[in-house]
Structure 1
Amino acid sequence: MGALPGLVALGALLAVLGPRLLARARWATREPVVALWAWQCVVVGVLLCCACALVLTGAAAWPAVRGLVFTGAPAGVEAAYGFPLARPWAVAAAFVFLVGGLRTAMAVAYEVAGAHAVRRRKRHQLSRQAPDLHPELRASSERSDRSEQLVVVERAEPQAWSLPGPVPRLVVTTGALQRLSSRELDALLAHERGHVRARHHWLLSAAEALLSGFPGVKLFAHFRDQVGRLVELAADDSAARRHGRLATAIALVELNPDSACPHPLAQIPARVDRLLGGVPRLRAPHRLALTVAALTLPLAPLVLSFAPGLTALR
């Protein structure tokens, strides 16, 4: 059964070499959106290797599973996979992959439920700090724009954040309003809109879930750290394209100059230097080539899994 060793080898190769190559890639800082896509493709590729290996080991371990997997398959396809008659190793391997799959599902479910509870608690807290408008005024406001809601909170500290939901909320404090000019405030809000529109909270939750489920896997630790860094850079670029690099950089400095960010390269000084440096983006063909190359990573496990069956059909 050549497909299974190939899947295991490919998964190990992606898990080891993928983070090293992406962490050293100089283009990642220039193209954070493409880098985020590449990181996701590496992680999805590893997860698909494990999922496909689970299906194949399950088919090798139990005839019932094998019959289900190859239901309706042409003659010779099942034989092409070379399932052995002795199955103890297959049962053990299937059990290992099954435990990993259940652990991943539980970690994701726990993280999603936790993130939802946190957002709900923040919405309730925000409602107490900044009560909703009168129903008639709220209705007219909703008719004008239901895509988001801007909330101002009375607080001396200059802060701003976004709260995802059916109607996302962009929250700014009175301290931020006092320190920022109109253009800088627009850049700050564009930064938060960039997070909301790109669904960065989903990506961050997935990264946290994988790391909490498998704390010893370095791939997921690198993924969490790089996602935390790249989403900030991507949001900075989104704001800079609309309101200029200078306004975005000043807004970052004025807002949280002493922010204790867990991702060193996403700290305020490094982000300001990047914005003021004005490094040009990669050319469109280069971005397209990187995107297509990253897409091949999650497709490779599928090709390996179906290769024996497709070969038998020739």
Structure 2
Amino acid sequence: MIDVAALVFGLLALLLAGPVPALLGRATWTHRAPRAALVLWQAVALAAVLSAFSAGLAIASRLLVPGPDGRPTTAPLAEIDALGLPLWILYVTVFALTLLVGARLVYSVVRVAVRTRRRRARHRILVDLLDRHTDAAATHLPLERAPDLRVLDVTEPLAYCLPGLRQRVVLSEGTFASLSAAEVSAILSHERSHLRARHDLVLEAFTAVNDAFPRVVRSRSALGAVQLLVEMLADDSAVRTAGPAPLARALVACSTSTAPRGAMAAGGPSTVLRVQRLAAGRADRVLVTAVAYAASAAILVVPTLAVAVPWLTELSRLFGTFGH
């Protein structure tokens, strides 16, 4: 039973780290329900990590063979006698790979968090120093000055945000010169939606999980697909405030602008697809949303019930010898 559990968990981890994200990244239905699709992406990523760890735990429980007194032992010679050398080598290799994924995940989480926050802190200091938004009339700002808003002396339209405890929304003089009041309001709503929802934490988590798995098994499309969904969520929030037409015009105007690493820009390579989505309007998303949420629950719950319970029962029986 333990052997089957380890095999199933291992195969599930490989599928959820590679082929499943590759298929999901090419799907277009996700554009109609970005929130539900993002939940599905999170379920896939979490299930991949849990499956990898569960495979390692199943292997570890198999290596803990009963000793002469009936208690689990980690003596290699006893394990080899009980399992055979080829199977023992395979189990140890899989267990070592699981530990490697866990170590890489912890390292990646810490590295991404530290580097991203350092970049944002340096850039936050820079935009605070370069802020030209000292007079609302001088920048033709169609609304009152906000404490989180910074305006740079740049002629091209520019819009991005710096998430964190000290949030910033950065616009350029060119943004106010090129956009109408409604369009500026739409782009501000887009950026502040990122800040309210803490989309940056979602992207950090996916970046860490993406780096944790070896290149040969992970999907290259996962992070890009999640970034697109996050932008679509911010678009939907801005549409509810300013309408689709002003937001679409603002996105086109800012499409060629760039933002520093760690920031979240309004424009970018996905602008054309997002503008087409805004022009298409809101289709009926009830069925798509319901299916996505149901799939998310199934990905997390069904493997646990079908596979985890048998080997947990066996593990409990094995360690139950400690009480005798």
Residue in 2 that maps onto 1:13: 15
Residue in 1 that maps onto 2:138: none
Q: Give the whole-Å Cα distance in 1 for the aligned partners of 2:314 and 2:209.
A: 35
1:179–1:254: 8 Å Cα contact kept in structure 2?
yes
**Offset at residue 17 of structure 1 (A):** 4.1
- The DSSP-based 3-state class of the residue aligned with 2:220 is helix
Is the aligned partner of 1:85 residue 2:87?
Answer: no
Q: Give the whole-Å Cα distance in 1 for the aligned partners of 2:132 and 2:251.
A: 28
Residue in 2 that maps onto 1:136: none
**Offset at residue 301 of structure 1 (A):** 3.9
Q: Closer, same or farther in 2 for the Cα pair 1:257/1:273, shift >3 Å?
A: farther
Could you report, residue by residue, the CA deviation over 1:142-177 in whole angstroms, capped at 9, with x for unpaired residues? Answer: xxx99x722222222211111112242112112111
Q: Closer, same or farther in 2 for the Cα pair 1:231/1:44, shift >3 Å?
A: same
2:52–2:98: 8 Å Cα contact kept in structure 1?
yes
**Offset at residue 271 of structure 1 (A):** 1.7
With 206-215 and 293-302 compared, the bigger mean Cα shift is at 206-215
- The DSSP-based 3-state class of the residue aligned with 1:85 is helix
**Offset at residue 96 of structure 1 (A):** 1.7
- The DSSP-based 3-state class of the residue aligned with 1:155 is coil
2:157–2:175: 8 Å Cα contact kept in structure 1?
yes
Candidates 14, 22, 25, aligned match of 1:23: 25
Residue in 1 that maps onto 2:223: 224
Residue in 1 that maps onto 2:173: 174
Is the aligned partner of 1:277 residue 2:280?
Answer: yes
Residue in 1 that maps onto 2:320: none
Residue in 2 that maps onto 1:106: 107
**Offset at residue 213 of structure 1 (A):** 4.1
**Offset at residue 205 of structure 1 (A):** 2.1
Q: Give the whole-Å Cα distance in 2 for the aligned partners of 1:212 and 1:282.
A: 32
Residue in 1 that maps onto 2:239: 240
Residue in 2 that maps onto 1:35: 37
Equivalent residues in 2 for 1:115-134 (5 A)?
Answer: 115-130=116-131
**Offset at residue 228 of structure 1 (A):** 1.9
1:163–1:170: 8 Å Cα contact kept in structure 2?
yes
Give the letter for the 1:113 counterpart: V
**Offset at residue 192 of structure 1 (A):** 0.5
Residue in 1 that maps onto 2:75: none
Residue in 2 that maps onto 1:154: 153
Q: Give the whole-Å Cα distance in 1 for the aligned partners of 2:21 and 2:91.
A: 30
- Gap runs ≥5 in structure 2: 67-71, 73-80, 135-144, 317-324
The CA RMSD measured in Å over matched residues stands at 3.3
Q: Closer, same or farther in 2 for the Cα pair 1:223/1:170, shift >3 Å?
A: same
Residue in 1 that maps onto 2:321: none
Q: Give the whole-Å Cα distance in 1 for the aligned partners of 2:184 and 2:132.
A: 22
**Offset at residue 251 of structure 1 (A):** 0.8
**Offset at residue 256 of structure 1 (A):** 2.6
Q: Closer, same or farther in 2 for the Cα pair 1:217/1:227, shift >3 Å?
A: farther
Q: Give the whole-Å Cα distance in 2 for the aligned partners of 1:180 and 1:199.
A: 26
Give the letter for the 1:36 counterpart: L
Residue in 2 that maps onto 1:75: none
Q: Give the whole-Å Cα distance in 2 for the aligned partners of 1:24 and 1:164.
A: 28
Q: Give the whole-Å Cα distance in 2 for the aligned partners of 1:312 and 1:89.
A: 20
Residue in 1 that maps onto 2:299: 297
- The DSSP-based 3-state class of the residue aligned with 1:8 is helix
Give the letter for the 1:246 counterpart: A
Q: Closer, same or farther in 2 for the Cα pair 1:131/1:182, shift >3 Å?
A: closer
Q: Closer, same or farther in 2 for the Cα pair 1:30/1:20, shift >3 Å?
A: same
Residue in 2 that maps onto 1:59: 61
